[in-house]
Structure 1
Amino acid sequence: MSNISYYTAEGLKKLKEELDHLKSVMRPKASADIAEARDKGDLSENAEYDAAKEAQGMLEMRIAKLEEVYSNARLIDESHLDLSKVLVLSNVKIKNQTNGMELTYTLVAESEADLKSGKISVTSPIGKGLLGKSVGEIAEITVPNGTLKFEILEISRD
């Protein structure tokens, strides 16, 4: 079963670059590490060889996972997005009803989320709670600490 993921052009480019790096740089390095360890003698008691084989296995798993993600990735066509509601790629300015604090987030695909740069996933509790809301609406979001209420102040796109 495939999990389709939606990406911005920037996010899809980063994913492709990481996959290319793993295949063209890390895979040959892993092979070289195994060859070097193999040259050190008896393989039955060679911890360095075992570690290199283990690292190669982990690398191949990562490559396979990224290839699957990339094959199921879809580019988001921003020209067809409704600007009046909170959707993927929306910049949303919200106000916490409890403490009056104003925050601005950009809703992105899960793989592109980065809280430090203000990008939250549409699959996060806050992201899910904001999706589909319009300016002026109150989003009630259940989090482990209880329920938060955010007023949607502004919706925009870059």
Structure 2
Amino acid sequence: MEDIKKAIEEQIKALEYELTTELPAEIKKAVALGDLSENAEYHMAKQRQVFVNARLGQLKKRMGELAMVNLENIPRDKVGFGSTVVVFDSTKNEEFSYKLVTSEESDVTKGLISTTSPIGRALLGKEVSDIATVVTPNGKRELEILKLSTIHDTIKVVE
């Protein structure tokens, strides 16, 4: 999770630099060209400024959410953030392995699914032998949990 926080902090720094240094210079240069009503450079810089402000707000909110994650609140015997789950999909008659991660880390091709995705939400709170029902555009899928390791199994404190 520290990697995610660091990546978000780097994005925040880059966007803040753009907002406080680069965009004001672009706007000043565009204003010097005169007639703002038909000045494409000016309008593009102002639109970018609005976007950067909005994105900064999103990233700062996400940092606040990540700061509030308490590992002690994550269950030790049920699917939660950081869990690796092996499931049997009766619809496809196949086994799949998923790791529940943050939305920033998700990559379905690598089996990394967000806790906010339909599959992630369906698996949260389930135990081994439970059936999770996932509603997809192609219909319902039933996933039986065969194996589970939680974030607590992967984070061992060395004493």
Bin the TM-score by the shorter chain.
0.7 to 0.9
TM-score where L is the length of structure 2: 0.79
Shift of 1:114: 2.8
Match of 1:53 among 39, 46, 58: 46
Matched position secondary structure for 1:61: helix
1:21 Cα deviation (Å)? 1.5
Q: Percent identity?
A: 35
Q: Does 1:39 align with 2:32?
A: yes
- Distance in 1 of aligned mates of 2:29 and 2:88: 58
Q: Residues 75, 106 of structure 1: CA spacing in aligned structure 2 closer, same or farther, 3 A cutoff?
A: farther
Residues of 2 paired with 1:81 and 1:55: CA distance? 39
Q: Which structure 2 segments of 5+ residues have no match?
A: 155-159
Between the aligned partners of 2:132 and 2:61, the Cα distance in structure 1 is 34
Q: Are residues 1:105 and 2:98 paired?
A: yes
RMSD: 2.3
1:11 is the counterpart of 2:7: no
Match 1:140 to one of 127, 133, 137: 133
Deviation at 1:92, TM superposition (A): 1.0
Contact 1:27-1:56 within 8 A present in 2 as well: no
Q: 1:17 & 1:54 partners in 2: Cα distance? A: 22
Cα offsets for 1:136-157 (capped at 9, x unmatched): 2222222232211111121124
Distance 2:125 2:87 in 1: 14
The residue aligned with 1:90 is 83
Q: Which runs of 5+ in 1 are unaligned?
A: 1-7
- TM-score, normalised on structure 1? 0.80
Structure 2 residue corresponding to 1:152, chosen from 142, 145, 150: 145
Residue 117 of structure 1 aligns with which residue?
110
Report what 2:157 is aligned to. none
In the alignment, is the contact (CA less than 8 A) between 1:94 and 1:150 conserved in 2? yes
Distance, in Å, in 2 between the alignment partners of 1:84 and 1:72 is 24
Q: Cα deviations across residues 77-118 of structure 1 (Å, max 9, x unaligned)?
A: 436633321111101111211232221111123344332332
The amino acid of 2:100's aligned partner reads L
In structure 1, give the amino acid aligned to 2:28: A
- Higher RCO structure, 1 or 2 (CA under 8 Å, sep 6+): 1
Give distance in 2, aligned partners of 1:126 and 1:144: 12
1:89 partner letter: G
